[in-house]
Chains A and B, each alone.
Chain A
Amino acid sequence: MTASTQVPVTVLSGFLGAGKTTLLNRILTEQHGRRYAVIVNEFGETGIDNELVVDADEEIFEMNNGCICCTVRGDLIRILGGLMKRRDFDGIIIETTGMADPAPVAQTFFVDDDVAARTRLDAIVTVVDAVNLATHLNEAHEAAEQIAFADVILLNKTDLADAAAIAAVEARIRTINPYAKIVHSARCAVPLDQVIGLDAFSLERVLAVEPDFLTSDHDHEHEEEITSVSLAADQPLDPNRFEFWFGQIIQRFGTDILRAKGILNLAGEDWRYVMQGVHMLIEANFLGPWPPGPRISKLVFIGRNLDTMDLEGGFKACQVD
């Protein structure tokens, strides 16, 4: 392994008892020939079957960069830095506490240059309990945040819930996060390629995953604190207008916007403009020409109070007249 190799990091989130440790042990014990370093939290469930286990003491701190929501996990910067001195493993798995906010974890990979140079966030995998998710969502805001940030949601314990209950849980998940891939499992028995090696934070991946637009007309009975808005435009976007509008939205509402993803058709450009981000940290680039056919811009926001931001009107105004 050389300095230019980025080690993939998988973040496991989910409430206590949802099955994080079961999934972790499945990943570690399956015969895949890969070696993982595991970062666990001090309140974690015990019994992890791995030789390289590091205890993390969650230390969230604010960056002095004028960005109010830019919190990072100092303990992860330190531990990842230490692990990168060894380089005798193929990947890193971070198990977060049941009540952890995933934002500082994700932001650590964008904000710290050394972490960004040597590791890459592969995916945030959130394990949810098909039986108890509704209770968790109603009782603690962290449950919705963990779903909002997820790239993959492992809907676990489906053997203990009936089909109607599973459908209801899935609908609630979709309201919060239309992008995540939902994988059903009993006792976390899933093929590992569903949770590991996803490269979910790359811009290429944004192109590959179509958001689930079910939510726009879904009649949900629960008022979720965190929701999503999916926008589409068939007219090209004025680059200057879009940049101004989007910049303003992120500046004003960055704390409430948890994740954003978009594939945009900018006027005068033949390539797709792809963006994705966490709170105020947005990554964007031109990524290959549009395929033949209509060029539809798509933009998805996941966050709180999205209805107060006039996202639809603002996005519409960015279209070339």
Chain B
Amino acid sequence: MSGGLTLDPSTLSGSGPTQIELNARHMDIGAVPVLGAALGETIALACGDGQMRFFARDGNMSAYQVHRGAILSMVVLPGEEGVLTGGDDGRFLRVSSDGTVTELSAHQRGWVDHVAAGKCGRIACSVGRVANLHDEDRHVHALEHPSTVAGLAFDAKGKRLAVAHYGGVTVWSKEKRGWKPSTLKWAGSHTGVTFSPDGRFVISMMQENALHGWRLRDKADLRMSGYPSKVKSWAWAADLPWLITSGADQAILWPFDGVKGPMGRSPLQLCWSVPSLVTAVAAVPGREIVFAGFATGQVVFSEIDAMAEPRMVKRSAGAPVTVLTCTPGGRLLAADEDGRTMWADLSAI
């Protein structure tokens, strides 16, 4: 796929729609795109009208009404047999790509703000200050926090659950007699959380224009600041690994190799192209590539290499790109805030 892309004539200096854009499938879904994720070669798109839309490997889209209000959160289940969704109708659901819905829990007058899926069948959803952790034996632990839960993430093994809230992150660990909390403090409001793939670091998004991180071994702080806007999209990429984020005029890639991770190091900056801010980023499993979507509607591609030349995937202007997802086989979905989607098969070029 990346070989195909480097042959694409759409360099930054070109004009008009790129070849990829001309060959892509464009739609107006008439709803706000909330989150996207790859299920194998199918792309799942959670939407503000309560529908899950699935873009199959041939680009055909199927829509299923699963929530009564907006879908607020969505993650892919390990094994890719479906997704978990949370809605403002208070329901926590499992949805498969054929539209089969299983209700996992329902919460009166509450929003299911966040969902997470880990290995061993462990899943979680949050309603207000409580994270409901469904253990592999189906026992549900109601884990309470000092303020509303603003992000949930399991580590790669499913043995720890990180919960973002005001004043820091709580990491719950599976122990013999249940789940035990450990607090990572940092002043301010934390609005999202992720574990590094090797489980050594926890990183949070903040209300301020910054990320904050902790090395779990010693709770050493990592400050990742200097963004001109809030970070709202991130993805882990490649083997190093890199944490790719939105929020600046280029995709920002923080290195998480070595003992210190990004401590005292500068991030790599890729996909510079237009005087605009990156609003969504995407990585591709097993590939050294990054996609960046911009506030002005463009989508740019780069190989993860300081010397790489950025390439235009979508040059036409539009509303801010809020969802960007690419499958391992090179099927890309870009969706903007106004509900316009572009599905492109990059492997066919």
Interface residues of A (CB under 8 A from B): 2-4, 54-55, 57, 59, 61, 63-65, 74-75, 77-79, 82-88, 112-114
Contacts and interface: CB of A to CB of B under 8 A. Distances in A.
Contact of A82 (B113, B147, B319, B320): B113
22 contacts: A55-B110, A57-B128, A64-B188, A64-B206, A64-B208, A65-B208, A74-B148, A74-B166, A74-B189, A74-B207, A78-B148, A78-B150, A82-B70, A82-B72, A82-B88, A85-B34, A85-B48, A85-B70, A86-B32, A88-B49, A113-B229, A114-B230
B217 interface: no
A2 B338 contact: yes
B337 interface: yes
Q: Sorted from nearest, which 5 A-B pairs have the closest CB atoms?
A: A85-B48, A3-B337, A85-B70, A86-B70, A64-B188
Contact of A2 (B70, B72, B230, B319): B319
Interface in B65-102: 69-72, 88
B109 interface: yes
B187 interface: yes
B111 interface: yes
Given A61-B189, A85-B48, A78 B69 contact: no
Interface in B224-271: 229-230
Which among A55, A65, A79, A86 has the highest number of chain B CB atoms within 10 Å? Answer: A86
Contacts of B49: 86, 88
A259 B208 CA distance: 24
**B interface majority secondary structure:** loop
B147 to A, nearest CB: 6
A85 B320 contact: no
Nearest to B186: A64
B113 A87 contact: no
Interface residues of B, number: 32
A78 B206 CA distance: 13
Contacts of A85: 32, 34, 48, 70-72
B320 A3 contact: yes
B111 A82 contact: yes
B48 A86 contact: yes
A111 to B, nearest CB: 9
A87 B48 contact: yes
A78 to B, nearest CB: 6
Contacts of A64: 187-188, 206-208
Contacts of B109: 55
Contacts of B72: 82, 85
Interface in B124-157: 128-129, 147-148, 150
Nearest to A85: B48
Given A57-B148, A82-B113, 8 more contacts: A3-B320, A59-B148, A63-B207, A64-B188, A65-B208, A82-B111, A84-B32, A87-B32
Contacts of A114: 230
Contacts of B111: 54, 79, 82
Nearest to B109: A55
A82 B147 CA distance: 17
Contacts of B70: 82-83, 85-86
Nearest to B150: A78
A55 B148 CA distance: 13
A58 to B, nearest CB: 11
A45 B72 CA distance: 27
Contact of A75 (B148, B188, B229): B148
Nearest to B33: A85
Contacts of B338: 2-3
Contacts of A63: 188, 207-208
Contact of B230 (A3, A55, A61, A113): A113
A78 B111 CA distance: 11
A77 B34 contact: no
Contacts of A88: 49
Nearest to B337: A3
Which among A61, A65, A75, A84 has the highest number of chain B CB atoms within 10 Å? Answer: A61
Nearest to A86: B70
A2 B338 CA distance: 5
Contacts of B48: 84-87
Contact of B69 (A74, A86, A112): A86
B249 to A, nearest CB: 15
A85 B320 CA distance: 14
A1 B230 CA distance: 24
Contact of A78 (B113, B208, B230, B336): B113
A5 B321 CA distance: 16
Given A3-B337, A86-B88, A113-B229, A59 B208 contact: no
Interface in B311-349: 319-320, 336-338
A83 B147 CA distance: 20
B69 to A, nearest CB: 6
B112 to A, nearest CB: 10
Contacts of A74: 147-148, 166, 189, 207
A4 B110 CA distance: 28
B59 to A, nearest CB: 25
Contacts of B129: 57
Given A78-B113, A82-B70, A82-B111, A112 B207 contact: yes
A215 to B, nearest CB: 38
Nearest to B208: A64
B298 to A, nearest CB: 16
B88 A61 contact: no
Interface string B28-48: 000010100000000000001
B208 to A, nearest CB: 5
Nearest to B32: A85
A284 to B, nearest CB: 22
